[in-house]
Amino acid sequence: MKIAIINGPNLNLLGIREPGIYGRQTFEDFLKDLKEKYPAVQIDYFQSNVEGELVNELQRVGFDYDGILLNAAAYTHTSVAIGDAITAIKTAVIEIHISNVAAREEYRQKSLISAKSVGSITGLGLKGYELGLLYFL
Ligand code: DQA
């Protein structure tokens, strides 16, 4: 089984960035633990701060991977291109947010990803990625 995790802008700063909201663990540490826990799953990770690179990666993994866990970060709320890419590919996407976006600023209430995804996991911290992986399993 092949699962892609795709993270958007500023998520490379997890562990440093607003730890009260996003926690103190780096994504690299979390990913190492996740891979150790699920050795039978190929988990490929991609992060970019650039919208078009996220579209390119969705297209790259979107036809032969078994599932995509996408945290488009701030692009969730603005990117028609990422929403269109999800529609264009074959692989199912789960939308992930570390924080509970519903409890935050109004501009975070809109998602251009949710309706294109099989489901959304928000507010459960990094655990959300593992729960998304379990869904695909
Ligand atoms: C986020 C929520 C977004 O609103 C925000 O722009 C992020 C992270 C989350 O994981 O909680 O960068 O996607």
pLDDT under 70: residue ranges of the chain: none
pLDDT of residue 112: 98
**Could you tell me which residues come within 8 angstroms of residue 52 by beta carbon, excluding any fewer than 6 positions away?**
81
CATH code at position 94: 3.40.50.9100
pLDDT of residue 50: 98
Ligand 1 in reach of 23 Cβ (< 6 A): no
Give the global pTM. 0.97
Q: In what order do the strands lie in the sheet with 42-47?
A: 42-47, 2-7, 67-71, 93-97, 119-122
77 catalytic? Reply is no
pLDDT of residue 70: 98
Q: How many domains does the chain have?
A: 1
**Could you tell me which residues come within 8 angstroms of residue 16 by beta carbon, excluding any fewer than 6 positions away?**
none
Ligand 1 in reach of 116 Cβ (< 6 A): no
pLDDT of residue 42: 98
* Residue to mutate, 71, 75, 110, 117, ligand 1, most ligand atoms under 8 Å from C-beta: 71
For residues 50 and 129, give the distance between their C-alpha atoms in angstroms, rounded to a whole number: 21
Domain ranges, residue 33: 2-136
C-alpha torsion angle, residues 47, 31, 132, 50 (rounded to 10): 0
